[in-house]
Amino acid sequence: MSATKIMEPEDAIQNVKTGDILMVGGFGLIGSPLTLINELTRHDARELTVISNNVGESGKGLGILLQQGKLKKAVGSYFTSNRDVAKSYNEGKLELELLPQGTFSEAIRAGGAGIGGFYTKTAAGTDLAKGKETKVIDGETYLLEKPLKADVALIRAWKSDMKGNLVFYKTARNFNPVMATAADYVIAEVDEIVGEGELSPEEIVTPHLFVDAIITSRLILTKEGVKEIG
């Protein structure tokens, strides 16, 4: 039964529908599910809201979806890695919601943990606080930040076993594990699928109960750029 989670990328991505909210792991292109994003560029889903640290780079990663006009809104922390984001925003083609990186990560964690919101001092008194509820606690002003949740999460891991227990490699761990907890359907792109019992409990970061589908990566990031493998 556990092997039924293993899918081809083109089949797994069919779970993304027009108008969906997506969480996409990665920091820039590092730890980003490039194979799944590539399949999404061929998929007919549009009007997508993407929750990701950034929107890839121009013509790379999520940047391709932006150029295709498939993104309605981006929620993230670092949009300047892709100049197309500012251009699309200024032309009224893309909505943006900017969150400080710590707030961004905590909002995803809150979404996965079922927390209704949290107070933080970060961004209080700035333009990012406009329209948000504030509260004075011990003489300091805090903002109420709401949780982030998604219909589908596309995440990147190093290894998975047949059940979907995930191990991450170095900085690719970034936002991927927490996103796995905050979406209704989670697709994990991995380098290698191993047999049950081959991963030690101590190295598993994301338990299988959070993972709905597993695909093997066909694209990797090298010093020279994105490279197709296999």
- For the chain, 230 residues long, the average pLDDT of each consecutive 10-residue run is 80 97 93 94 96 94 96 96 94 96 97 97 95 96 97 97 95 93 98 94 96 90 67
Task: Specify the number of domains making up the chain.
Answer: 1
* Residue of 88, 158, 148 lying closest to 118 (CA atoms): 148
108 lies in some domain? no
Question: Tell me, what's the pLDDT at 1?
Answer: 38
Question: Tell me, what's the pLDDT at 171?
Answer: 87
139 lies in some domain? no
Question: Tell me, what's the pLDDT at 23?
Answer: 98
137 lies in some domain? no
23 lies in some domain? yes
66 lies in some domain? yes
9 lies in some domain? yes
36 lies in some domain? yes
110 lies in some domain? no
For the chain, give percent helix, strand, coil, nearest 5. Answer: 25, 30, 40
Whole-model pTM: value is: 0.93
Question: Tell me, what's the pLDDT at 219?
Answer: 76
Q: Over the range 29-55, which residues count as b (16 or more CB within 10 Å of their CB) and which as e?
A: bebbbbbbbbbbeebebeebbbbbbbb
Two tokens, residue 90? 């200024």
Residue 219: DSSP 8-state: E
CA distance 64 to 41: 7
Structural domain containing residue 79: 2-103+147-228
Two tokens, residue 212? 């709905």
The CATH number linked to 218 is 3.40.1080.10
